[in-house]
């Protein structure tokens, strides 16, 4: 069992964020079942290449193993997790219980999310909770870090020590709405931001220059590995808010090896993002083993001070 009280094990992502280093995280989904072998093997390919591995919490409202449990398993295997926590499936009692549990397990990084609607997932008749949403969840984490619960009652064993982050979508149609919600998340205690999949880097640059510039919080641009033109067209059709440009689709369609071309595109996007913001969040669904080679293509060297 890993020593979860060792701060050098727990806080490499936080230290790097606060030191202004270029941050690299990657997304790994928990299993849709009980066998964690594949999840661990994929996360293991990221050791030394990312500051932390982001574990999804019922992404797209599809049933998978608990993000909290999956994060604890990665921590046991020497991999620092960022535990996503969505409001869709828990009320404030359950959220506080899981947050205190995360701290007790040695999990320090939390990504606070509202959560995708139940109707888009594999249990469309399930009852959604949404007692809170992401801003209020951030406020709740701040309270726990101050040593009180949601009712302002002191925690008998002292405060939690959670490093809370939030999502942001620089490609949002409503610029004023984007700015207002971003600022609300800052006020609620967000210490870092992970973006949705970025396809319009001009919009990202505008967001960085006009909104994020006023705050010293790391923004991690979402970089997605496109495996083929068909894959890109599917995402355009079914993922809200994403518009992969036609020239990218054409490039994939004309490539002799679409997967290799997709890796080159992702590497180029990492290089662009590196000029605009403080980090990247890598997404390569079911091919997390390709993230390290993509980072090599982009000229991103192994991270330092990672256990």
Instruction: Map out the domains of the chain as residue ranges.
Output: 12-298
- Cα separation of 298 and 27, whole Å? 18
pTM for the full model? 0.94
Report the candidate in 13, 91, 100, 84 with the shortest Cα–Cα distance to residue 52: 13
Helix (H) or strand (E) holding 16: helix 12-18
- Cα separation of 73 and 68, whole Å? 9
Q: CA-based Rg of the chain, rounded to a whole angstrom?
A: 19
Give the pLDDT confidence score for residue 131 in this predicted structure.
97
Q: What is the 8-class DSSP label of residue 147? A: T
Residue 157 makes CB contacts below 8 A (sequence gap 6+) with none
What CATH code would you report for 12-298? 3.20.20.220
8 Å CB contact between 31 and 41: no
Tens of each residue's pLDDT in the chain, 307 residues: 344 444 434 578 999 999 999 999 999 999 999 999 999 999 999 999 999 999 999 998 999 999 999 999 999 999 999 999 999 999 999 999 999 999 999 999 999 999 999 998 999 999 999 999 999 999 999 999 999 999 999 999 999 999 999 999 999 888 899 999 999 999 999 999 999 999 999 999 999 999 999 999 999 999 999 999 999 999 998 887 788 999 999 999 999 999 999 999 999 999 999 999 999 999 999 999 999 999 999 999 998 754 4
Give the pLDDT confidence score for residue 307 in this predicted structure.
46
């Amino acid at each position: 069992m890993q020593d979860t009280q060792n701060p050098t094990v727990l806080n490499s992502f936080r230290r790097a964020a606060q030191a202004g280093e270029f941050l690299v995280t990657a997304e790994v989904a928990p299993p849709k079942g009980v066998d964690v072998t594949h999840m661990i093997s994929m996360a293991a390919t990221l050791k030394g290449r990312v500051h932390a591995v982001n574990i999804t919490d019922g992404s797209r409202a599809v049933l998978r193993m608990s993000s909290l449990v999956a994060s604890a398993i990665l921590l046991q295997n020497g991999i620092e997790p960022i535990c996503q926590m969505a409001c869709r499936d828990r009320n404030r009692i359950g959220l506080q219980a899981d947050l205190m549990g995360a701290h007790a397990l040695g999990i320090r990084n939390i990504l606070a999310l509202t959560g995708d609607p139940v109707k888009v997932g594999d249990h469309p008749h399930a009852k959604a909770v949404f007692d809170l949403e992401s801003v209020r969840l951030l406020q709740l984490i701040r309270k726990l870090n101050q040593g009180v619960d949601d009712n302002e009652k002191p925690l008998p064993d002292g405060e939690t020590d959670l490093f809370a982050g939030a999502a942001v979508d620089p490609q949002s149609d409503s610029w004023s709405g984007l700015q207002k919600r971003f600022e609300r998340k800052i006020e609620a205690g967000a210490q870092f931001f992970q973006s949705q999949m970025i396809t319009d880097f001009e919009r990202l640059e505008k967001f960085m220059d006009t909104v994020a510039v006023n705050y010293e919080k790391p923004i991690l641009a979402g970089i997605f590995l496109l495996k083929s033109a068909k894959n890109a067209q599917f995402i355009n059709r079914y993922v809200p808010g994403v518009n992969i440009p036609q020239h990218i689709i054409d490039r994939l369609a004309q490539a002799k090896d679409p997967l290799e071309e997709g890796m080159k595109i992702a590497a180029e996007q990492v290089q662009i993002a590196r000029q605009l913001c403080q980090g990247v969040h890598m997404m390569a669904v079911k091919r997390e083993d390709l993230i390290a080679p993509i980072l090599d293509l982009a000229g991103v060297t192994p991270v330092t001070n990672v256990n």
